[in-house]
Structure 1
Amino acid sequence: MSRVPEGPSRRLLLAGALGVASAAVTGCSSNDEGSSGGAKRLRIGYFAFPSGDLIVKNRKLLEKALPGYEITWIKFDSGASVNQAFLGKALDIAALGSSPFARGLSGASPIPYKVAWILDVAGDNEALVARKDTGVSDVAGLKGRTVATPFASTSHYSLLAALETAGLEASDVKLVDLQPQAILAAWQRGDIDATYVWLPTLDELRKTGRQLTSSKQVGAAGKPTLDLAVVSDDLIARDPKAIEAWRKSEAEALRLLKSDPDGAVDAVSAELGISKTDARAQLAQGVFLTPEQVTSPDWLGTDGNPGRLLSYVTDTARFLAGQKQIDAAPSAAAIRDAFYAKGLPDVLK
């Protein structure tokens, strides 16, 4: 398979990370105790994407659980920028797609973080759509077309998988690296023919586009993607109790998605600045596990007994290596070591 453009070098990623760090956490000086002005600090990266994270943030569940902490929520557009921020030591906890997580574990100097939770499983909330005026009606029809996606994201991974299933190589299309807002602008100008992207941008594109496949279908065909939550090695070493409190808050949010759907809609609507009708429709497109499912053998697993997520991340890394997106897949031991399930499931009770 022809080689597609590789991601930036670690040196460039680190330079970008320092910019992210200075912009996102201005005034929060870094030190070994993770504190600022005497208060313990947590810097949490999140996406403007329907998930339990938005409920935790909106209802201040973590602030209630950790009243003595200074908690900063930092919004990111993609997993690539989250990886940059971890390299720059600008984050303690963050949402991260399974594909950029697999990337972060690769190379001679893997990013010092571990997966500690599952936020959701990608469903119809990430999809490949083509502009209706292109006449493209299936993935194979994208040959020779310009297709945009945020590189190093779960959408990028799913796009490559969809192309392979349709008998196309990455070189058969013109791949363009754009963030969601830039994708919307390029779509409106007619600069791109198709895109693989996530909500809420996806819903806007569906108005004038035709959906060709979704991450739900790609996953069912053997290449699932997930939105994970990762914690830095520094935080694991200095404050595991904070991670326990954060996990409990995320578990509460997952339960609220089932037990209080109207309340979940209200929280997502407020955080995204969209109508409750749109928030309800967007939440319906995701696949949200229960806390019990998260810690089951089918998904994250428990301390010393990782679940199927281990094989999903392993398969993702191998696929990315095969696509020349990374130089080589990390070893099985490196991936296993990047799981942090200490205290699970007992800590959730």
Structure 2
Amino acid sequence: MSPASRGPSRRLLLGGALAAASAAVTGCSSGSGASTSGGSKRLRIGYFAFPSGDLLVKNRKLLEKALPDYEINWIKFDSGASVNQAFIGKSLDIAALGSSPFARGVSGSSPIPYKVAWILDVAGDNEALVARKATGISDVAGLKGKKIATPFASTSHYSLLSALKGAGLKQSDVELIDLQPQPLLAAWQRGDIDAAYVWLPTLDELRKTGTQLTSSKEIGAAGKPTLDLAVVSDDLIARDPKAIDAWRKAEAEALRLIKSDPDGTVKAVAAELGISAADAKAQLSQGVFLTPEQVVSADWLGTDGSPGKLLTYVTDTGRFLADQKQIGAAPSKDVVREAFYLKGLPDVLK
């Protein structure tokens, strides 16, 4: 899910990577992540404070149970852009990442050394475009000339551009402002912006005084779906593929629990996010969670040797971002295919 209306150059990303990654992994030891003192292995996992299977894996310590000899470090991020920076800084092994920042990450002459290996969820009503009620705006076309905030390079940014284009507006018809969720909420409360496209839980705060104009569920149904993916570093793929298998199994178990144990899922998400059970239940109801079998189907991620429709979705996202001058050039379908790690699927889920 996540910084400039024209995509940041790789040099700028590298310049901010060490500081961003250092801040993100405060308290974690440095090094490649292959081992820590005493010889125990380590996995550094980036996640978002956003309802998904990640929160269940973390809360129920599913990965710690599967890999008892490993040190598991969970590192919270606010946006996909900072996740990309952390991977450039070699500070992550596995992380949640929106499909739009992933498309950015694999574009250009120096793609980020990671690959998509799982799908966490499909964006639904948990990401949306909301206008302040005080503006009187009731549809996307009414945003012409207005100030709209969103975290740049995020799935929300991509969906916002799609919504504007669908309403016949060019990017130059509005004033886009790059704000992460918390600063975005503060700007909204001050009346500095007219509208915003963002995800939960900030989205629910905006809805209290705003009018929802569209959502990622609607935009996805119109042919522009966005997803929360999970990516693994090339280094981890080369060094410890069995750890990736164990992590996938844990994520698959979490997706099954979302369906089979809704009350337990609500309790775990509420605990991880520090919110009430009622709020956790409401947030979960707005997401679209696939079954493990759907994840590895031809409709989504696919299997080794036979990538699914996600390949087309990411390729189309890259093309759209290039058309909107968000990136210099769209990655080809072959380049995107090289950024898929499907080895072992679906057998690893058995």
TM-score, normalising length: structure 2: 0.97
Aligned to 1:244: 245
Displacement after TM superposition at 1:332 (Å): 1.6
2 CA distance for matches of 1:276 and 1:121?
22
Cα deviations by residue, 1:277-302 (Å, 9 ceiling, x for unpaired) = 00000000000000000000000000
1:123 aligns with 2:96: no
- Matched with 1:144 is 145
Q: Report if aligned partners of 2:5, 2:152 keep a CA contact under 8 Å in 1.
A: no
Q: How many residues align?
A: 345
Could you say which residue in structure 2 is the equivalent of 1:155?
Answer: 156
Q: Matches of 2:66 and 2:201 in 1, distance apart?
A: 29
Structure 2 counterparts to residues 71-90 of structure 1, below 5 A: 71-90=72-91
Distance 2:121 2:30 in 1: 32
> Which letter maps to 1:200?
P
Q: Deviations over 1:248-291 (max 9, x none)?
A: 00000000000000000001000000000000000000000000
2-structure distance, mates of 1:52, 1:294: 13
Q: Secondary structure at the match of 1:297?
A: coil
Q: Are 2:276 and 1:283 equivalent residues in the alignment?
A: no
The Cα shift of 1:35 comes to 1.2
1:12 is aligned to 2:12: yes
Match of residue 189 from structure 2: 188
What secondary structure, in the 3-state scheme, does the structure 1 residue paired with 2:177 have? strand
5 Å matches for 1:1-349? 5-26=5-26, 27-31=28-32, 34-37=34-37, 38-349=39-350
Runs of 4+ more than 3 Å apart? none
The 3-state SS of whatever aligns with 2:29 is coil
Deviation by residue 1:133-153 (Cα, 9 ceiling, x = unmatched): 000000000000000000000
Q: Secondary structure at the match of 1:130?
A: strand
**For each residue in 1:207-249, what CA deviation from the matched residue of structure 2 results, as whole angstroms up to 9, or x when unmatched?**
0000000000000111000000000000000000000000000
Query: % of aligned pairs identical?
Result: 81
Counterpart AA for 1:278: D
- Structure 2 CA distance, aligned partners of 1:9 and 1:324? 12
Q: Secondary structure at the match of 1:243?
A: helix
Whether the 8 Å CA contact 2:78–2:180 is kept in 1: the answer is yes
List alignment gaps of at least 5 residues for structure 2: none
Instruction: In structure 2, give the amino acid aligned to 1:8.
Output: P
Q: C-alpha distance in 2, partners of 1:15/1:59?
A: 37
CA contact (8 A) 2:255 2:290 kept: yes
What does the per-residue CA deviation read over 1:45-95, in whole Å, with 9 as the maximum and x for residues that have no partner?
A: 000000000000011100111111111101000100000000000000000
Q: Single out whichever of 163-172 and 10-19 deviates more from structure 2.
A: 10-19
CA distance in 1, matches of 2:29, 2:15: 19
In the TM superposition, residue 36 of structure 1 has moved relative to its aligned partner by: 1.4
CA distance in 1, matches of 2:46, 2:275: 21
